[in-house]
Structure 1
Amino acid sequence: MYKIILLLLLVGVFAACETVADAGVFVVGSDYLSVNNKVIQIDTLTANMATINFDSLVTSEQNRILIGNYDDPIFGRLKSVSYFQLSNSVGDYSVGNTSASDTEYLNYVYDSIALVLKYDDYYFGDTTKVQTIDVHRILEKVKPANSEDSRFYNNSSLAYDSKSLATYSYKPRPTEKDSIHVRLDDAFGEALFLRLKNREITNFDEFTEYLKGMVLVPNSTNSSNIVGFNLSSELRVYYSKYQSDAEESIVKSFTIADATKQYNAISSDKTGTLIQDLPISSSSLSSNLSGNKGFIQSGSGVACRIDFPTLKEMNYIAENGTVVDAVLKIKPVKNSYSDAYPLPDSLQVYVADNLNRISGTLNDSKDIPIYAVLSQKKDEFNENVYYALPLGGFLQKELLKQSDSRKGLILTIPNYNKEINRVVLGDQNLYDNKMELQIFYLTY
C-alpha cells in the first residue's frame, strides 16, 4: 500500500537530499522542491533474509587467546582451541650469567615451570561454571598449510602431542583476577631448563626447533564458557642458585611475541538446530527454512544475508522518481537474548554479490561505514528493540544500475573474528518480530 505525503511536510526529505545529490540525480535547492512533487512511503517491498556460513575466518593476528567450549541452546556446541608460538622477547636464551669466563651458571637448578594466562576481560557464557583445559606441545612448525598465505583461519590445524603437559580446571574470573597460573609437567620443564643451561638452546631458531609451540584444548566434559586471554601471557621457567642464601626464584620468561603465530581454531556442531543444514559458503539457507529467522554467530562464520529481489519494480511507480530515504528495522527474536546472551550494540554491514563474495563495507556518501544500530527503548513487550539500518544510498545505487546483477547485504557482529557472540533476527514473515522496510520515494 502506498501512503501519499505532501512534500510540504519536509521532515525527513531534506535529510535525504544529500543521498539524492550523491546519486547524481538532483542537487539540493533544485526545482524539485515544488508542491507538484510527492514523496511516497513504501512499506511493502520484499526483503528476503537468509543465513550463510563462511567456510573460513582469519583468526591469527587478532591479539586474543580464546579457549573453552559451551552448549548454546540455539546454535549448538561451540569450541575454541588456541595455538601459539613462544619466544624470548629480548632474544636472551641464557640461564644466569653465561659469559665464557664464568662457570657459575652450572650451579643453577630447576624449580618449576608454569603457563601464566592473563585475562583480557572478554568472556562468553556462564563463568560460574568450571572450565577445564589441557596444555599440549605442538609437533610441527607454526606456519600455515598454504605457503602463499601467511594467515591462519578458524579451521586451521597443527599436529600436537596427545600427551598433556597439564590439565587445569578453574572458574573464570576475568573481571576479578588478572591471570591464571597453570603448573606444567616437571619432566618437560626440567628438560627445557637443562637445554637452556647447557647452551644447547641459544637463539630463537634453536628454541622453536625444540619447543615449536603450545596449544590449549578445552576438555569436552565441560561446556559452559569461552574466555579470552591476552598475548602478554607467558611461559615461565623458575630456577634458583644451588646452595645460595637467596631463597627467591629466578624467572626465564617466554611470550607470544609474534601475533601472526597465534590463532584460534573455532569449530561448531549445529546438529539438531534450525541451521544444521547450512550449505557451502557461496550459497545460503532461506529464513523460510529456518523458522523465519536469520542467524549470526561471530567466530564460527555464521552470518545473515538480506536481499531485495523486487527492488526494480519501483521503477514502475512513476515515470520519474528516486529513493530519498530508507530504513530497515531488523528485530531480534524474543527470548533469544538475555543477560547470558546479550545483544551486540550494533551489526556490521557488508555488500556482497550473489555468491556471498564481499566487496566492502556498506558506506555512506562520505565513505564512512554504516552500522545497524540497536535501539532499545524500554517497554513492556520489547516492541522497541530493533536494529535500524539506513539504506537510502544503497537502494538508490541499485535502482540506477543498468545491469540485472543485484547486490545483497551481509550482517555480522563487530569483532567477528575474535569474539563468540550471537544474535537471532526475525524476517518479514515472523509473527511477532517482523523485519520492517520503509522507503521514501520521490516522484517528480
Structure 2
Amino acid sequence: MFRTMLVAATALLLFSACEKSGFSYDNSTNEEDVQYTLLDTFTIQMRTVQLDSIPTSGTATALTGGYMDPVFGRLDAGTYFRISLPPEREVDIRAEYDSIELIMRPNGYWYGDTLVPQQFRVYKLAQKLELPTDYYRLFSHQQFTIENMPWADTSMIVRPVLGEQLHIRLSDVKGRELFDMLRNKVQEVSTEDHFAEYFKGMAVRGNNNRAVFGFQAMDTSLYIRLHYHISTTEVEEKYFDFKMTNAELQFNEIQSDRSGTPLESLTTGPAGLPTTSTASQAYVQSITRTVARMDFPGIPALQELGKYGRIMRAELVLRPVLGTYSDYAMPPMMTLCPADNLHYVAQGDTLLSEYGTQYGNMQVDFLNPENTAYVYDVTEYCRALSDMNTYTYRGLLFIPNNGDYYTTFNRLVIGDGENTKYRAQLKVYYLLYK
C-alpha cells in the first residue's frame, strides 16, 4: 500500500512539473522504479529569419528570369560572367560579318510558368567584373554597373526540359565593331589582359518574366558566337566563339520586392518575424536568404523531473502547409543546422547528429496532407541542449541542403507548434529512474 501511494505521489509531482514546463505526458509506462514517457507538447519557438547574404558565384549555374509569388513577392534573377578571346582569331581578308548571338544551354531547372514567352536583356558591363577587396566570393545582393543600351532585348519561349540551346540575337552594331577589332588586330583584342580591360563582362537579365531558368555556366555552354563567311567559289560559313571564363567570377544577382506579402516587414538581423505575427507559419527560400529558426525552451526543464533521467530518443516533425506547394515546388531535401543567437553556423558542427547530415525524408501525401512532413532525429541535439549556457547555446536553422541552397527558388511554408492543422512537433522519449 505504501509503495502504491509513493508511486502515485511521484507521478503527480512529475505531471505537475511537466505542466509547469510547457509539456505533458503521453503513453506513460510504469514498471517498478522506471518510467518511460513520450512527451510531445514541447513549446517550439519559431520565426522566419532574413540572413545577410549568400554566395552565388562559382556554382556552375546561371539563373535568369523572374516571377510573382503570392507569399515571397516579386522575384528577379540576373547572371554576370566574363568572356575570353577565341584562341584562334585570324580574320581572312575575304571575310564578311554576318551576325552575333549569345548561346546558353538550359540545365533543366526552372521555376514558374514556362508556357509563355520570356523577355531577356543582355548587357555589356561598364564596370569590370572582379572580386572586391577582401572578398573571396560574389554574393546575391551585389551589382555591377551596366552600359545604358542593351546588346539584346528580346522575347522567346524557353523549353528547359528538352535542353534546347537558347540563341539570343545580339546587336549587329556591336557585332560589327567586335569583328572589325579582330580584323584590324587592335590592342584591345591582342591579349586576354587587354581584352578584360575592354570587355569588362556581361549581364543577362529578365524583364517582368513569369519564370526563372537555370543555365549551365561553363565555357562549353555559355558563350558569344560571332558569325562570318568567306566567299570563294562557294560561301564558307565560319564563326568565332568568345567563351565564358573565370568560372569563379560568374554569379547570380537576386532581387525581391515583398510589398503586400506576409514577409513585407521582414528585415535582416537576428530578430526575424515570429510565427505569432505570421499566422503560425514560417517561411523558407534560401536563394532570397529566407530561413526558419527554431528554439526549444522546454528541453532544459526536463531536469526538473528527477535527478536520474535520460533522453532516449527525440524526433522533430515539420509539416508543410497544404495549398502552398501545389504550384510552387518545395525543396526535396532540407537540413537542420545548429546556429548561435546571431544565426551563425559553425562549420563542421557535430552537435545535431553523430550520423552526419539528415535531409528529412520528405514525401508528399496529397490524399492525407497531414502525413506530408520532414522528420529528423534530434536526439543528440536535445541531450546537449540541457547542458548549454548563454555562450554555448544553439538553436536550429531549417534550410535546404547545400546543393540547392545557392541555386534554386524552391520555397516552403511550414506550420509552427500552434498551427491547428500542420503542427510542428518535438517528440521526446524520456526514461526516468525514480
TM-score of the superposition, structure 2-length normalised? 0.88
**Residue 56 of structure 2 is aligned to residue 2 of structure 1:** no
**1:279 maps to what in 2?**
267
Q: Do the aligned partners of 1:320 and 1:443 also contact (CA within 8 Å) in 2?
A: yes
Structure 2: runs of 5 or more not aligned: 1-23
Which residue in 1 is equivalent to 2:36?
39
1:41–1:438 Cα contact (<8 Å) kept: yes
Matches within 5 A, 1:368-387: 368-377=356-365, 379=367, 381-387=368-374
Deviations 1:196-227 (A, max 9, x none): 1222212211222221111112113x3x1000
Q: Give the whole-Å Cα distance in 2 for the aligned partners of 1:195 and 1:158.
A: 25
Q: Which residue number in structure 2 is paired with residue 345 of structure 1?
A: 332
Instruction: Choose from 107, 113, 132 the match for 2:119.
Output: 132
C-alpha separation in 2, matches of 1:401 and 1:4? 29
The 3-state SS of whatever aligns with 2:380 is: helix
Alpha-carbon displacement from aligned partner over 1:385-412 (angstroms, at most 9, x marks no partner): 1111211111111113355752111111
- Deviations along 1:161-210, whole A, 9 cap, x unmatched? 11011112112200124211111101101111111122221221122222
Q: Give 1:18-33 correspondences, 5 Å limit.
A: none
Tell me the residue number matched to 2:81.
84
Q: Secondary structure at the match of 1:371?
A: coil
Identity fraction in percent: 27
> How much has 1:275 moved relative to structure 2?
1.2
- Give CA deviations for 1:241-270 in whole Å, capped at 9, x if unaligned: 2x3234232111112222111111101111
The aligned counterpart of 2:394 is 407
Q: Which amino acid aligns with 1:442?
A: L
| Alignment pair present for 1:62 and 2:59 | yes
AA aligned to 1:425 is I
Asked if residue 95 in structure 1 is aligned to residue 90 in structure 2, the reply is: yes
Amino acid at match of 1:291: A
Is contact 2:46-2:294 (8 Å) kept? yes
Aligned to 1:16: none
- Mapped to 1, the partners of 2:128 and 2:389 lie a distance apart of 51
CA deviation map 1:389-441 (0-9, x unaligned): 21111111111335575211111123111111101000011111111111011
In the TM superposition, residue 131 of structure 1 has moved relative to its aligned partner by 1.1
Going from structure 1 to structure 2, the CA distance change for 1:321 and 1:329 (only over 3 Å counts) comes to same
Counterpart of 2:181 in structure 1 is 195
Q: Match for residue 186 of structure 1?
A: 172
Residue deviations 1:321-364 (CA, integer Å, cap 9, x gap): 121111111110111111x3122222122111011111247756
Distance in 2, Cα, partners of 1:67 & 1:333: 28
8 Å Cα contact 2:416/2:424 also seen in 1: yes
Residue 19 of structure 1 corresponds to which residue in structure 2? none
C-alpha separation between the residues in 1 aligned to 2:375 and 2:222?
39
Give the match for residue 267 of structure 1. 255
Q: Hey, what's the Cα distance between the residues in 1 that align with 2:193 and 2:138?
A: 21
Answer yes or no: is the 8 Å Cα contact 2:65–2:211 preserved in 1.
yes
1:229 paired with 2:215, answer yes
**Which one-letter code corresponds to 1:61 in the other structure?**
G
Q: Aligned pair 1:359/2:356, yes or no?
A: no
**Amino acid across the alignment from 1:86:** I
Following superposition, the deviation at residue 5 of structure 1 comes to 4.2
Which residue of the partner structure matches residue 293 of structure 2? 305
Q: Does 1:294 align with 2:282?
A: yes
Counterparts in 2 of 1:154 and 1:240: CA distance versus 1, 3 Å: same
Classify the secondary structure of the residue corresponding to 2:180: helix
The verdict on how the C-alpha distance between 1:126 and 1:229 changes in structure 2, with shifts beyond 3 A counting, is same
* Matching residue's letter, 1:239: Y
Kept after mapping to 2: 8 A contact 1:349/1:362: no
Residue identity matched to 1:406? Y
Corresponding residue of 2:13: none
- SS of residue matched to 2:235: coil
Partner of 1:328: 316
Residues 127 and 172 in structure 1, CA contact (< 8 A), matched pair in contact too: yes
Task: Name the CA distance, whole Å, in 2 between partners of 1:7 and 1:193.
Answer: 86
Give how far 1:309 is off. 1.8
Tell me if the contact between 2:353 and 2:379 (Cα under 8 Å) persists in the aligned partners.
no
Q: Secondary structure at the match of 1:278?
A: coil
**1:108 corresponds to which residue?**
95
Structure 2 CA distance, aligned partners of 1:132 and 1:181? 13
2:110–2:211 Cα contact (<8 Å) kept: yes
SS at match of 1:159: coil
Deviation at 1:316, TM superposition (A): 0.5
CA contact (8 A) 1:282 1:357 kept: no
Contact persistence 1:80–1:266 (CA under 8 A): yes
Instruction: State the alpha-carbon separation in 2 of the partners of residues 304 and 61 from structure 1.
Output: 26
1:432 partner letter = K
CA-to-partner distance for each residue in 1:137-184, whole Å, 9 max, x for gaps? 10111113x311131111101000110111121122001242111111
Distance 1:290 1:378, change over 3 A: closer
Deviation track 1:288-326 (CA, whole Å, cap 9, x = no partner) reads 011110000131101011111222111111111121111
Letter of the aligned partner of 1:71 in structure 2? M
Aligned-partner Cα distance in 1 for 2:174–2:123: 11
Q: What is the CA-CA distance between 1:43 and the residue it aligns to?
A: 1.0
| Residue 376 of structure 1: how far off its partner (Å) | 3.0
Matched, 1:397 2:366: no
State how far apart, in whole Å, the 2-side matches of 1:272 and 1:123 are: 25
